[in-house]
Structure 1
């Protein structure tokens, strides 16, 4: 019996199951404890951005200039002047907390029915959220019981505090919802409690270890606050799927009449190999995010690579060890009403797949065109996709407390967009040429001791229209260079709008090298795996159709609002700026889960002598149960994230859930078999110049007695 790497790892683990199991547990515990002790380091404001605006913020950071966290409290009354007593009491209560500074007297609106109280939170703005709670309590307690008066608070510290608490609640919601959902689907798939618990336990321990290692790594590569949520999303979905593929194959071989030893060998050599290929493909695809030029994506890349690697490693090491130790006890807790075995012991999961495949293989051209048409129709809205960095009022929905407060404050005291911030540094900021250049601007703050100056420049428009961006471009390209030409000063233009423009520009530049990288990696890995350039090219094309359909659905729901209310969300007129690139990379990686698993099984059948159509039918029917279960788990996990509070999490969850659903149904059940049937023997064509590629076997039959390098029986714990 020829043993591939996965087979050798699986058999070794089964022979040394105590070492494999204890080693895994020690690894998880040590990684978790070390990560918890070190803590996670979040990226700074300048690290979140890119370009000129990030450099402007970095200049301020290096100079130790940090604007205090500003806060606003709006007091609204039904009658003119009805706010006065409440506003006076609120200002006094805020001042008494000891955490507020520069508490300004209430400023009345034009109709005298609203008043605005401005103040700052003392200390470092980066940690202001940790100190704002006494102020929040004072505002709440003072406003309680005031008839005819409404009070709303909004500011940097209160928003960050609210966001932190919300993310914590959302993460707990995701964890406590996604895990039971995955467990329930596995119970249906396996019909036994132990078999269902095993993949979930391995996935959760993989996530725990990855969390710990990521915390350690964050001291070198600072992370965005939602990175842990992204890691958990990927880790649970991929970890459960890998174990499901492996475990399902082992049970299939047992059902086909093989003994436990042989069934485990075959599962290790086939599904174990598919897990390795899929895991490496996912990790390589994720590595493409390092080319984006944004620290946000570098953190996402590191997090997903870590969790996928650990989940893959656990699936081909500790899982075979556990299967060898459990033996027949893997079926403990069997639920009779979920028993899916026939009397002869053969799974029925391919019955529906066979019924679908029959017309598809009889008329492949018709079904291929129909499937492509469906995906293109779904993708059509993506042609009008608009991206932007969603502000807090869009991130949390129009009815959230934060959004309501922001809306009411801006309605009562309308202001233009956040001003552009021009940062000027020089060897001597008070030198005559620099001083003359600064004199040409209003709203200039000079920090002579630090040789740095800040200039606020008001912009027209509402901050998101063409007028604002045109004014910013003129400021950057004409006004500022002309004013400081020959002064020797370094000048950068930042601010909220500049940060958004720079971020989107970098995304547009970065998506090209990322796309080229992941398509090239996918092509090469599929070529190495199947020794067929046709399989490699069709893999990329099918992935692109899935991604395009996901883009279209996201645009239709979240930008245009089609069906948004039915999904419990709302339209915000744009897609979060980082979402298209992230979804592209993740779907390119995850699509390989099913593609490698299904095509490997088709190749197994062909290597045993079946013609292409018979191999397609056998491969898809035999993988239908595992693919359906894996897809159901991924869709369920992603859908949970679609129910969370933040708009970007909703977009990510809905986009990925729809894409995986389409990928596992329209693509794998209709488009893949129809295209492979049309291509026939050309599927397996290897150009002469590439016949030096190693032949990587796709199937392992049971070894003859005494043959093979691993002929010794695998001990089973029965």
Structure 2
């Protein structure tokens, strides 16, 4: 005998908060819609008026490199913002007289700018085919980004005056500005790519442009409101900038559409179950009791997963966590409040697909049911064999994660299409000492100042002739005003991720610096520089990773235990989500640490994974995977409570949620895949890992592992007692 889930009576005196809110919203649709519109407008307006509070420059400092920069700041030895100007010839051979005239022009025009403190004399490369000038800006380095445009304008003007030469500008600030401009432009392209695709998928699902627009409208409005709230929150939890708001939009679009999709499909299901006779308000209440409650649980689970990022103790992760938690919370609120009002206003059109000129017929439904029955048959009839196959597939993908190498994205991994990056590569090819540098900062009591100066000179001398350091013509030793502190810059002729850069750093920290500066009585010292920062940052992330993973696993276990009242199924959910994440990590290593996929995904392999990527993938993917599992397992539980045997409940639950979960997965994948087309290696890695993780979760986990393992739980007699019906099943 077939069964169905008993629906809660609409006249029940004890209605859940989700039902009460939905009931009021459906009964007062215009009030609810107006209230939501005002809420979004107030949030966005207040956030715009308040502005975004950025983190302090020093908040990015981590480890010994951060200690060195703090010491330098306290003694007035912070590295200034320096831009390099490179003069070459399109023909290769540089005419000395012509180049000297251009260099003089640059010095004159740059020196006249208020933004410039000093312009060096031009230096000729050993090859004779390039000239370089260094321009020191007049403001603190962390403020220089806002003042770089006048320098770029002078460079462009001099280039126009000397068309027979190639005159280029590069440096940390010019590169940063160009990278930010490119990222902003490409993120705009991503939005233009994902919105129509999402609308098209929703149109196919609902057969109505009106209904397709509802989830998209709610997702966008939730993002807009979240941007305003995030701007306000930045005055308590400062914003790290960068791609934080882009991640907010990505997560907001994913969960916003998903929650609306689940709710809307459930309303249509309740209407269809009654043959179209059920009152729309009643159907909305029934959906609020089931899908609404699951949306709340899902939102809590996703928020808990994202909260683990705070344990990283890093301003970038804290900003991402805050932004994403805000947008998930607002997406949940929109689904519970204004969505019932919008559905109430659609009226009978909620059942239709008039634009497609067809409705799903019985043969269509039977065909879909037969497909899913065929897909689930191996898992339910041969659960052990299916589970083993699924675990082998996921485990095989996860295995390469053991060889993961992480590093901070450096200049060698930036897009070569940008003028400032191309100029940097050309500059360091001609002037190896103009690239990266290790910085040693030290401080002593006034009585030992001479000893410190002598030790610093000794250190500099010991690096001369060593292939791990770039040769220099002049000393790069600077003293504080009272001569009690020094900063020594030692150039490195290698990229940040080059093993030789790490080797030179280890030589300094473990040997040369302790043997020289470290011998001065009472000295305080530390080593900084881009290689040092990259090493310390990667070590910091690696040390925090177990803490984040442990917290997320424990917290989500508690959420799933409360939701399903089953220790076994809570552990099962944790295991499956962890497997999806590990498989995504392994695929990252296979694709991005090697070169075979460079042509497919249009990137140059840096040989490492961005140090932030594994943690972001874990927190985001774990939360979103729980999102799917909660909706599927809630339907399985409903079927079980309706009187279905465990295997039948698994079959019914997965089959009844198949179309909506598949649609949600496709939408989410389209959002993540779009980030693969951004010309930044970390964005590519993040988008690829999240898209693959969602694909694995929707196919391998949902079709193979979840039903197989749940069937094995039934065989072992561990089916939860809380899932057994307390009343006779209602026959159809």
Same fold (TM over 0.5): yes
Alpha-carbon contact 1:260-1:327 (below 8 Å) kept:
yes
Per-residue deviation, residues 106-127 of structure 1 (Å, max 9, x unmatched)? 3222221222222123333323
Name the CA distance, whole Å, in 2 between partners of 1:532 and 1:683. Answer: 13
TM-score by length of 2: 0.87
How many aligned residue pairs are there?
691
Give how far 1:200 is off. 0.9
TM-score by length of 1: 0.89
Give how far 1:147 is off. 6.6
Out of 135, 139, 144, the position equivalent to 1:128 is 144
Calculate the aligned-residue CA RMSD, in Å. 3.0
Q: Does 1:448 align with 2:448?
A: no
Name the CA distance, whole Å, in 1 between partners of 2:206 and 2:256. Answer: 17
Out of 30, 48, 57, the position equivalent to 1:36 is 48
Give how far 1:61 is off. 4.1
Out of 233, 238, 245, the position equivalent to 1:222 is 238
User: Residue 433 of structure 2 aligns with which residue?
Assistant: 415
Give how far 1:573 is off. 1.0
Per-residue deviation, residues 235-283 of structure 1 (Å, max 9, x unmatched)? 1111111111111111111122233133212211111111111110000
- Return 5+ residue gaps in structure 1 as ranges: 703-718
Give how far 1:586 is off. 0.9
Structure 1 residues 502-511 or 172-181, which shifts more?
172-181
Alpha-carbon contact 1:547-1:584 (below 8 Å) kept:
yes
Name the CA distance, whole Å, in 2 between partners of 1:656 and 1:367. Answer: 25
Question: Which runs of structure 2 are paired with 1:399-414 in the superposition (5 Å)?
Answer: 399-414=417-432
User: Residue 109 of structure 2 aligns with which residue?
Assistant: 96
Name the CA distance, whole Å, in 1 between partners of 2:64 and 2:329. Answer: 36
Gap change, CA 1:5 and 1:473, over 3 Å in 2 = farther
Q: Does 1:25 align with 2:37?
A: yes
Gap change, CA 1:349 and 1:30, over 3 Å in 2 = farther
User: Residue 3 of structure 2 aligns with which residue?
Assistant: none
| SS of residue matched to 1:620 | helix
Name the CA distance, whole Å, in 1 between partners of 2:81 and 2:398. Answer: 43
Question: Which runs of structure 2 are paired with 1:431-446 in the superposition (5 Å)?
Answer: 431-442=446-457, 443-446=476-479
| SS of residue matched to 1:581 | helix
Question: Which runs of structure 2 are paired with 1:280-291 in the superposition (5 Å)?
Answer: 280-291=300-311
Give how far 1:347 is off. 8.9
Name the CA distance, whole Å, in 2 between partners of 1:178 and 1:370. Answer: 34
User: Residue 653 of structure 1 aligns with which residue?
Assistant: 687
Question: Which runs of structure 2 are paired with 1:62-211 in the superposition (5 Å)?
Answer: 66-77=78-89, 78-82=91-95, 84-86=97-99, 88-89=101-102, 91-93=104-106, 95-96=108-109, 98=113, 99-144=115-160, 149-211=165-227
Gap change, CA 1:48 and 1:332, over 3 Å in 2 = farther
Out of 242, 250, 267, the position equivalent to 1:250 is 267
Question: Which runs of structure 2 are paired with 1:239-638 in the superposition (5 Å)?
Answer: 239-257=256-274, 258-330=278-350, 334-336=354-356, 339=358, 341-342=360-361, 350-396=369-415, 398-415=416-433, 418-425=436-443, 431-442=446-457, 443-448=476-481, 452-457=485-490, 463-465=496-498, 468-473=501-506, 475-476=508-509, 483=517, 487-488=521-522, 490-638=524-672
Give how far 1:104 is off. 2.6
- Return 5+ residue gaps in structure 2 as ranges: 1-7, 9-13, 458-475
| SS of residue matched to 1:221 | coil
Give how far 1:29 is off. 1.0
Name the CA distance, whole Å, in 1 between partners of 2:69 and 2:660. Answer: 50
Alpha-carbon contact 1:14-1:320 (below 8 Å) kept:
yes
Per-residue deviation, residues 318-356 of structure 1 (Å, max 9, x unmatched)? 11122123322446883225x452269969754532231
Name the CA distance, whole Å, in 1 between partners of 2:717 and 2:329. Answer: 30
Gap change, CA 1:500 and 1:637, over 3 Å in 2 = same
User: Residue 22 of structure 2 aligns with which residue?
Assistant: 10
Q: Does 1:644 align with 2:678?
A: yes
Name the CA distance, whole Å, in 1 between partners of 2:534 and 2:355. Answer: 54
Give how far 1:511 is off. 0.7
Give how far 1:368 is off. 1.7
Alpha-carbon contact 1:600-1:698 (below 8 Å) kept:
no
Alpha-carbon contact 1:80-1:111 (below 8 Å) kept:
no
| SS of residue matched to 1:75 | strand
Gap change, CA 1:698 and 1:400, over 3 Å in 2 = farther
Name the CA distance, whole Å, in 1 between partners of 2:439 and 2:226. Answer: 39
| SS of residue matched to 1:119 | strand
Gap change, CA 1:4 and 1:562, over 3 Å in 2 = farther
Question: Which runs of structure 2 are paired with 1:680-695 in the superposition (5 Å)?
Answer: 680=714, 685=719
Per-residue deviation, residues 508-559 of structure 1 (Å, max 9, x unmatched)? 1111111110000111111111111111111111111111111122112211
Name the CA distance, whole Å, in 2 between partners of 1:120 and 1:62. Answer: 20
Structure 1 residues 45-54 or 383-392, which shifts more?
45-54
Give how far 1:84 is off. 4.4
